[in-house]
């Protein structure tokens, strides 16, 4: 097979397919829809675009295969659905891409794979090897083994992590909505489509509210989180409807469909991208005014003395958010201590760490090398 040069603005594209797209809003898997999506991806692939799919739908496929069983609302039951659905889904992708002479490769990831530097690098190498081999990677969360605390939880955020990991130019979040609206279009007839977003702010997040499709896991809120992560990682992000004809090639060629989010001004270097990708939303720290200035102006580390408050829960090694006293997120970084330890160290001088804890991992809560300013 020959690969022609690719003249479009984007060359490496991550496409996230929500369950509602793959089932066309029903409870059954839509093979015609899947055929159509594969055709669009294959057209681009043959023109030299690098395509990565993040596909949901394992659970929906499992339900269909097991003929919609009545199951207890327990994690193992859901994991059983994924275990049945995932290989079936992959078999379909494999068969349909094969029509075009394209091979697919499966990658199942968890948050732990993106948080540990070593595992992150492994995942990145595999992804790059697949792309270089002209294989289309098809990624999903490794639902069958992920307990709540190591899950990403939704494929919107997972696809943003993948886009960051892969250094993608474009992340397309395909869903059953035409894009992001000023309000929920199902309840508010005055709601308007937002074609272009320069900055994700509070107003936008409030508008996205809890709009969920009821089929997949994510809604507009997780799509905005994803857009935030991926644009910071240097990708353009588009939310668009999977039913628009030829939506994927048209977006790849720069056409305006749905809602587009502009990428951050520069692509962060590799290690900082990892910090963005492995980010957890389970805990955060508010720093005092002095620490906020020191972080922003002098590129300092965060010391215990600058910690004003600790919220939620996180482990040593997790990437967490730092907020200034005005409540604005100013940085993300890798915590040297877990949430309980930071609470005990809050406000103390670094020389007291050993006496307060009986051990120490270093004098910083977050070292400057493990910190990315936003
Ligand atoms: N991993 C889930 C599945 O394949 C989908 C998660 C999501 O919809 O965001 O069913």
pLDDT 10s digits, 135-185: 999 999 998 887 776 678 899 999 999 999 999 999 999 999 899 988 777
Domain of 52 in residue numbering reads as 12-272
**Domain-ending residue, one of 272, 288, 323:** 272
Protein residue with its CA nearest to atom 2 in ligand 1: 56
**What is the b/e burial string over 39-78, where b = at least 16 CB atoms within 10 angstroms of the residue's CB?**
bbbbbbbbbebbbbbbbbbbbbbbbbbeeeeeeeeeeeeb
Same domain assignment for residues 20 and 92: yes
Same domain assignment for residues 199 and 336: no
Same domain assignment for residues 47 and 137: yes
Instruction: Output the CA 142–ligand 1 centroid distance in Å.
Output: 10
**Best of 53, 140, 242 to mutate for ligand 1, by most ligand atoms within 8 A of CB?**
140
Same domain assignment for residues 253 and 291: no
**Best of 17, 23, 57 to mutate for ligand 1, by most ligand atoms within 8 A of CB?**
57
Same domain assignment for residues 338 and 228: no
Same domain assignment for residues 90 and 125: yes
Which atom of ligand 1 is least distant from the CA of 154? 9
Which residues surround ligand 1 with Cβ inside 6 Å?
19, 56-59, 82, 140-141, 143, 154-155, 216-218
Which residues, in sequence order, are bridge partners of residue 323?
286, 329
pLDDT 10s digits, 93-119: 999 999 999 999 999 998 888 888 888
For 57, 115, 206, 315, the CA distances from 319, given in Å and listed in that order, are 28, 8, 25, 9
Same domain assignment for residues 219 and 307: no
Same domain assignment for residues 189 and 331: no
What CA–CA distance (Å, rounded) separates 35 from 22?
10
> What φ, ψ does residue 366 adopt, rounded to 5°?
-135, 125
Same domain assignment for residues 101 and 58: yes
222 and 54 Cβ atoms separated by less than 8 Å = no
Which atom of ligand 1 is least distant from the CA of 218? 9
Residue 2: inside a domain = no
**Domain-ending residue, one of 272, 304, 325:** 272
CATH code for position 343? 2.30.130.10
Structure pTM?
0.83
Output DSSP code: residue 212. Answer: B
Is the pLDDT reported for residue 34 higher than 80?
yes
């Amino acid at each position: 097979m020959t690969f022609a040069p690719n003249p479009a603005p984007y060359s490496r594209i991550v496409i996230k397919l929500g369950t509602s797209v793959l089932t066309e809003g029903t409870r059954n898997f839509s093979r015609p829809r899947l055929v159509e999506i594969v055709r669009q991806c294959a057209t681009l692939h043959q023109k030299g675009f690098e395509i990565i799919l993040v596909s949901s739908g394992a659970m929906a496929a499992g339900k269909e295969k097991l003929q919609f069983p009545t199951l207890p609302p327990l994690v193992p039951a859901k994991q059983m659905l994924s275990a049945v659905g995932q290989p079936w889904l992959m078999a379909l992708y494999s068969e349909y891409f094969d029509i075009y002479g394209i091979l697919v490769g499966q990658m199942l990831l968890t948050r732990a794979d993106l948080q540990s530097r070593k595992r992150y690098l492994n995942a990145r190498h595999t992804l790059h090897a697949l792309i270089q081999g002209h294989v289309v990677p098809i990624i999903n969360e490794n639902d069958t083994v992920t307990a709540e605390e190591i899950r990403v939880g939704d494929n919107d955020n997972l696809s943003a992590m993948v886009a960051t990991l892969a250094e993608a130019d474009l992340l397309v979040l395909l869903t059953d909505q035409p894009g992001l609206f000023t309000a929920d279009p199902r309840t508010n007839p005055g709601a308007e489509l937002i074609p272009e977003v320069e900055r994700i702010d509070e107003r936008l997040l409030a508008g996205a509210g809890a709009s969920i499709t009821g089929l997949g896991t994510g809604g507009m809120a997780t799509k905005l989180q994803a857009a935030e992560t991926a644009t910071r990682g240097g990708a353009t992000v588009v939310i668009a409807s999977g039913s628009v004809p030829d939506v994927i090639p048209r977006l790849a060629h720069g056409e305006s469909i749905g809602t587009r989010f502009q990428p951050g001004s520069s692509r962060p270097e590799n290690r900082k991208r990892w910090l963005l990708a492995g980010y957890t939303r389970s805990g955060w720290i508010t720093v005092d005014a002095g620490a906020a200035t020191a972080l922003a102006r002098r590129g300092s580390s965060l010391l215990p003395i600058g910690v004003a408050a600790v919220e939620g829960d996180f482990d040593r090694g997790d990437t967490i958010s730092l907020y200034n006293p005005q409540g604005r997120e100013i940085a993300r970084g890798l915590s040297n201590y877990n949430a309980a330890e930071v609470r005990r160290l809050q406000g103390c001088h670094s020389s007291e760490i050993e006496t307060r804890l009986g051990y120490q991992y270093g004098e910083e809560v977050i070292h400057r090398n493990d910190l990315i300013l936003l």
